[in-house]
Amino acid sequence: MKSHAKAVVIGGGVVGCSVLYHLAKSGWTDIMLIERSELTSGSSWHAAGGFHTLNGDPNVAKLQAYTVQLYKEIEEISGQSCSLHLTGGVMMADTPERMDFLRLAHAKGRYLGMDTELITPSEAKAMFPLMDETNFVGAMWDPVEGHLDPSGTTHAYAKAARKLGAEIVLRNRVVELTQEVDGTWNVVTEQGTVKAEHVVNCGGLWAREIGRMVGIELPVLAMEHMYLLTEPMPEVEEFNNSTGREMIGVLDFKGEIYTRQERNGILLGTYEKACKPWSPVSTPWDFGHELLQPDIDRIAPSLEIGFKHFPGIEKAGIKQIINGPFTFALDGNPLVGPVQGLTNFWCACAVMAGFSQGGGVGLALSNWMVHGDPGFDVWGMDVARFGEWATLRYTNAKVRENYSRRFSIRFPNEELPAARPAQTTPLYDTMIANNAVMGDSWGLETPLWFAPRGSEPKDVVSFHRSNDFGPIGEEVRATREKVGVTEIANFAKYEVSGPGAEDFLNRLMTNRMPKTGRIVLTPMLNEFGRLIGDFTIAKASPRGGEERFMIWGSSAAQKYHMRWFEKHLPKDGSIRIHRFDQTLVGLSIAGPKSRDLLQKLVDVDISTTAFRFMDFREMAVGGAPCMVNRITYTGDLGYEIWMAPAYQRLVYKAIKEAGEEFGLVDFGMRALLSMRLEKNFPTWFRELRPIYGPFEGSMDRFIKLEKNDFIGREAAAKEQAEGPKLRRVSFIVDAADADVMGDEPIWAKVGGKDYGTVEKPHGYGAPRFDAGGKEVRGSNAAEGASAVRGIVDGDWRVVGWVTSGGYAHYVEKSMAQGYVPAALAENESAGLFEIEILGHRRPARVNVEPPFDPSGEKMRT
């Protein structure tokens, strides 16, 4: 074993081997993989080997599609077969709601370039005759599904990596990780220490233990998982002989089961409700190639439904039940990327579908390590997407919930209950007493809407408008006409201070930094000129002679943004960044009477001229020291008031008492989001994401190319000079009783006109190099964009996709935001657009100016 390596990958499961292969392919050959035992000694060896491309996150779906198409490549390089069976598969819906879900998935698949198709239960039965089709109302066919040999595939990655120069060391456990002052890692193994620049945690079942070696608790947990194999079945052989085809894969939502042909019999796996974590606190190092005891009672309820839905299988004898553990993160997607707060410590773990996702994970991570950027929008699997609140016990509760709902539909207004409440603000009990329906916002309980007194504060989950529609409308109207108050503790808040803080922020942000006491809105770009943040920044008065800026951003992106800030901090420690998390909480008041209300609570003049729109001031509110921004996301006259948690109850009480004479109401997050829609305001992670440029995102007025040289400036200047291909636009939709949720296709009546190729980007052109140092671009399925292929219906064509939307209660319109070709972005003609909602195309019209207060007069008053 060599004593130095550029990178050490810990773990020889399918994920570690894929990471090793991709690093080697990117030109890093001084790399080694260290495996405790033999390759596939974790969960990889007993996997059912199924793969598919569908995923709730379109960007993860795209990386899954890449994984599937990669198998041919590694077979060719390694000479090792993966035993690929590309059978195709169906998802079966047993209720109209599940059919709505499939319609949505199908609609999304369209612009991702997936060839999914909605089919009848009888058509599904023709491909899987063991089912009783009368149990179902419909199905979705996906041709890119199948199964493979898990061990062969892992070895194919490993052999291909070796051929490219990587070293693999077996039967050697990593026992300790320490880091030198210069950043070098000491990878202490049973066979000695390796000095490495980078360490990658691909520990699978032991990922948590490897995390603990560097002082972190990764939110990952292993669950027991069972599948059964039947004896050979004559029906299967008969089908194969008569059609010349293998039976397809079937996913049954109701039974929470998947099934497919395995040799001459059937494999059937369950995601049972009564699921069981495995080794919940720590994983024994001596666990190896053994299986767990099957527990037929646990899966009996799923099997009962399974045998009813697939009576053909019930008749077959069960040959074997496999029970093995594999790992999950809270939401079922992987944990990939550099860990915030550490240098050159990388994760590729919690990969619950290694054979669907392993390739994409390896590609994204190797790009990130070699070129400093994953090259794709990998937020859906970024290790930074969970906060400190994801503790061992929190993770345990959430992973169990996720597992037991693996095939359940998540409705757009559905909040999941496990591990809640976790974080609460001092106003939690007050909000509950006010009949608030609470939601989880990055682990924090946040009021969503207020149910009328005497009614149960609970969402009726639905794809259609639901029981919150009326109350939210009332919250919006009362706020717009009088005044409303809401909690905003769930924003991210940071303070940047120190000499040179302004220069530092000017280098990071696209807008000019504000003068003392003023606020700016500013996007943040990566080197490729893509949007990686959107912030509100205020300049506070200097303290101790040092510059001080307050920053507010997206709650969910706190670790993601901290990682970026830390990466760019000067090494001399002159600038400090403090993330407040819940040590700073807030309230926002908005509406025409909000100034009168606030004036009663402060001892300074806050008239229009004394405290202008976009002003920032530290002042006492109701006797509590606060920071006040004259700005709100409602787009109305309003204020954001920030205080230490100890003062929040005092300030809220003062606002409520002072507000009585003005007709003050409480409003929740959903009313806030409704109000932002009628102002055409974008949201981070929906409208604004790293796949879009700032001009595509219609953020033009916040991009000051003429100021200093900021990160991404050159690329942004190029985007502006060439003209963005896409534009973010707002629509008014002629919806019925359901509004858009996001990811719906946008149709346009373009006739024979060509508005340019319409593409949904996933990657963003980060340069990559092959082993010979030659630059390669768009060389595989994941790197390019998804062309919206051939989706044509007469004069109509799919030209874009929705990012978010809903009902704008004050203007009484259903609204949507999304991306369309730039040439169409300002065309407000009626009859030009349609947006597909739950499978039905509804007329839509571009709305360039926001329907509420287009001149912005109200917020400036």
| Token output for 572 | 């001399």
Per DSSP, helices labelled H in 492-537 are: 501-508
Nearer to ligand FAD, 37 or 95 (CB): 37
Distance of CA 261 to the CA centre of its chain: 33
One residue of 8, 24, 31, 49 binding ligand FAD per CB under 6 A:
49
**Amino acid letter, 647:** Y
For the CB of residue 222, give the shortest distance to ligand FAD in the complex, in Å.
8
One residue of 116, 230, 270, 356 binding ligand FAD per CB under 6 A:
356
Question: Which one of the spans 350-358, 382-390, 627-635, 818-826 is the region binding ligand FAD (CB under 6 A)?
Answer: 350-358
Contact predicate 315/232, CB 8 Å: no
| Percent of residues in the chain assigned helix, strand, coil, to nearest 5 | 30, 30, 40
Q: Is 210 in the site for ligand FAD (CB under 6 A)?
A: yes
Q: Is 46 in the site for ligand FAD (CB under 6 A)?
A: yes
One residue of 7, 42, 84, 820 binding ligand FAD per CB under 6 A:
42
Nearer to ligand FAD, 193 or 683 (CB): 193
One residue of 7, 14, 90, 782 binding ligand FAD per CB under 6 A:
14
For the CB of residue 68, give the shortest distance to ligand FAD in the complex, in Å.
11
Q: Is 169 in the site for ligand FAD (CB under 6 A)?
A: no
SS3 763: strand
- Does a cis peptide bond (omega within 30 degrees of 0) precede residue 421? yes
Per DSSP, helices labelled H in 460-589 are: 469-481, 501-508, 558-568
Contact predicate 759/753, CB 8 Å: no
Residues 6+ apart with CB under 8 A from 295: 224, 226, 276, 323
**From residue 235, how far is each of 70, 126, 130 by CA, in Å?**
33, 13, 8
SS3 232: coil
Nearer to ligand FAD, 206 or 833 (CB): 206
**Amino acid letter, 185:** W
Query: b vs e for 826-839, b when ≥16 Cβ sit within 10 Å of the residue's Cβ?
Result: eeeeeebbbbbbbe
Q: Is 34 in the site for ligand FAD (CB under 6 A)?
A: yes
Q: Is 362 in the site for ligand FAD (CB under 6 A)?
A: no
C-alpha span between 309 and 290 (Å, rounded): 32
Question: Which one of the spans 12-20, 465-473, 567-575, 796-804 is the region binding ligand FAD (CB under 6 A)?
Answer: 12-20
One residue of 170, 322, 569, 823 binding ligand FAD per CB under 6 A:
322
C-alpha span between 558 and 538 (Å, rounded): 18
Q: Is 430 in the site for ligand FAD (CB under 6 A)?
A: no
**From residue 297, how far is each of 225, 275, 294, 404, 449 by CA, in Å?**
13, 11, 9, 16, 41
Q: Is 41 in the site for ligand FAD (CB under 6 A)?
A: yes
| Token output for 790 | 């051939």
Q: Is 205 in the site for ligand FAD (CB under 6 A)?
A: yes
One residue of 28, 239, 326, 560 binding ligand FAD per CB under 6 A:
326
One residue of 71, 128, 206, 368 binding ligand FAD per CB under 6 A:
206
One residue of 117, 123, 126, 173 binding ligand FAD per CB under 6 A:
173
Contact predicate 562/509, CB 8 Å: no
For the CB of residue 352, give the shortest distance to ligand FAD in the complex, in Å.
5
Q: Is 47 in the site for ligand FAD (CB under 6 A)?
A: yes
Q: Is 690 in the site for ligand FAD (CB under 6 A)?
A: no
Q: Is 12 in the site for ligand FAD (CB under 6 A)?
A: yes
Q: Is 11 in the site for ligand FAD (CB under 6 A)?
A: yes
Q: Is 353 in the site for ligand FAD (CB under 6 A)?
A: yes
Pick the closest to residue 851 from 800, 823, 810 (CA basis): 810
Nearer to ligand FAD, 169 or 451 (CB): 169
Q: Is 52 in the site for ligand FAD (CB under 6 A)?
A: no
Q: DSSP characters for 701-718?
A: GG--TTSS--TTHHHHHH
Nearer to ligand FAD, 335 or 575 (CB): 335
C-alpha span between 698 and 772 (Å, rounded): 39
Residues that bind ligand FAD (CB under 6 A): 10-16, 34-37, 41-44, 46-51, 173-174, 202-206, 210, 225, 227, 322, 324-326, 349, 351-356
